[in-house]
Structure 1
């Protein structure tokens, strides 16, 4: 993975993690830092999947970008579904 790939994974993962908040219906209960962390980790996972499946060619490619967007959104939806609800407010 190149430096550009690392930066892209962090930036896209954080941005998509926060934007994933709008995909989940209802009032969001997760803190913003957790959304960004889930997004970044899932973006790195997407990059890893692309490289493991030999879809990546070493430079920027569409598959890597798609996996860095789709996986964080799915991860945010999954974590938000199982995140405990706040009580007492």
Structure 2
């Protein structure tokens, strides 16, 4: 992978992670680097699933693939924020 490919993957991961984070209601106490990591993972997993399902072979923008990636990022952010939130101070 080239340097340009790595930078592109990080930018796409940041955008996908941010969109996924916006979909999750409430406040998530996770750092931006973890959001970006979740976004990169969701983007890769979403691409694999879309290609396996035959959804990535369209002309133009693959909206279904993008939506799948954002939903996977939202699920990832919700899981990580939920697990991290349990380690915090008890409300009671």
Aligning the two structures, in what range does the TM-score lie when normalised by the shorter sequence?
Answer: 0.5 to 0.7
Query: Which residues of structure 1 form unaligned runs of 5+?
Result: none
Q: What's the CA shift for 1:80? A: 1.0
In the alignment, which residue of structure 2 is the partner of 1:53? 53
In the alignment, which residue of structure 2 is the partner of 1:63? 64
Whole-angstrom distance in 2 between the partners of 1:76 and 1:45: 14
Is 44-53 or 68-77 further displaced after alignment?
68-77
Q: What's the CA shift for 1:18? A: 3.0
In the alignment, which residue of structure 2 is the partner of 1:18? 18
Query: Which residues of structure 2 form unaligned runs of 5+?
Result: none
Count how many residue pairs are aligned between Structure 1 and Structure 2: 81
In the alignment, which residue of structure 2 is the partner of 1:42? 42
- TM-score w.r.t. the length of structure 2 is 0.66
CA RMSD in angstroms comes to 2.7
Whole-angstrom distance in 2 between the partners of 1:11 and 1:58: 23
Greater C-alpha radius of gyration: 2
- TM-score w.r.t. the length of structure 1 is 0.68
SS, match of residue 30 in structure 1: coil
Does structure 2 conserve the Cα–Cα contact (< 8 Å) formed by 1:21 and 1:35? yes
Does structure 2 conserve the Cα–Cα contact (< 8 Å) formed by 1:38 and 1:72? yes
